[in-house]
A = this chain, B = another copy of it.
Amino acid sequence: MDTTEKKRGTGRKKVPIEKIESSSQRYVTFSKRRTGLFKKASELCILCGAEIAIVVFSPREKVYTFGNPSVDSVVDRFLNQHNHMNALEHDHLQQQKQFIEVSKQLEAEKKKEVIIENLKLSGWDAPIDSLQLYELQQMKQALVQVKKKVVEEFL
């Protein structure tokens, strides 16, 4: 124990809160203090049940994050509740509305398409100029069937 030669003269010194000019020293400080910051955040979460998201860009442009329960959940909650409605979400809702509208139209149109199909099945595709009385009568029968189907299905 008694190593009389304890190292002397070292120890923390007061540091002014201003930009650290030495880049190596700056990075050491960044690393230490980032660790401390995240630890404090973690303690605050545990002690008080808080939800916290932290995003840090280092002086070297690297990104570090802390999140409880997760960065995303906290950020989303912030963007929403804060009524902050960013452009992305706004577009998103607009598109949802448009999508629903268009889907409804499409459904309506598809019913109509069945009519076309029935007409084709009934021989509507035949060259009309060559129709004779007999064919006209056949066509009448076909139309009767088509109309019946259509009436049953849509009217």
Contact = CB atoms under 8 A, between A and B. Distances in A.
Interface of A: 15, 17-20, 26-27, 29-30, 33-34, 36-37, 40-41, 43-44, 46-59, 63, 65, 71-72, 74-79, 81-82, 86-89, 91-92, 95-96, 98-99, 102-103, 105-106, 109-110, 112-113, 115-116, 119, 124, 128-129, 131, 133, 136-137, 139-140, 143-144, 147
B46 A75 contact: no
B102 A109 contact: no
Copy number in this complex?
A: 2
20 contacts: A15-B47, A18-B47, A19-B47, A19-B48, A29-B48, A33-B43, A33-B44, A33-B47, A34-B50, A53-B54, A54-B54, A55-B75, A72-B87, A76-B86, A95-B99, A99-B102, A115-B116, A128-B143, A133-B133, A136-B137
B92 A88 contact: yes
A102 B36 CA distance: 52
Contacts of A119: 119
Nearest to A133: B133
A55 B78 contact: yes
Contacts of A59: 48-50
Contacts of A56: 44, 50-52
B50 A57 contact: yes
A43 B19 contact: no
Contact of A128 (B29, B102, B116, B147): B147
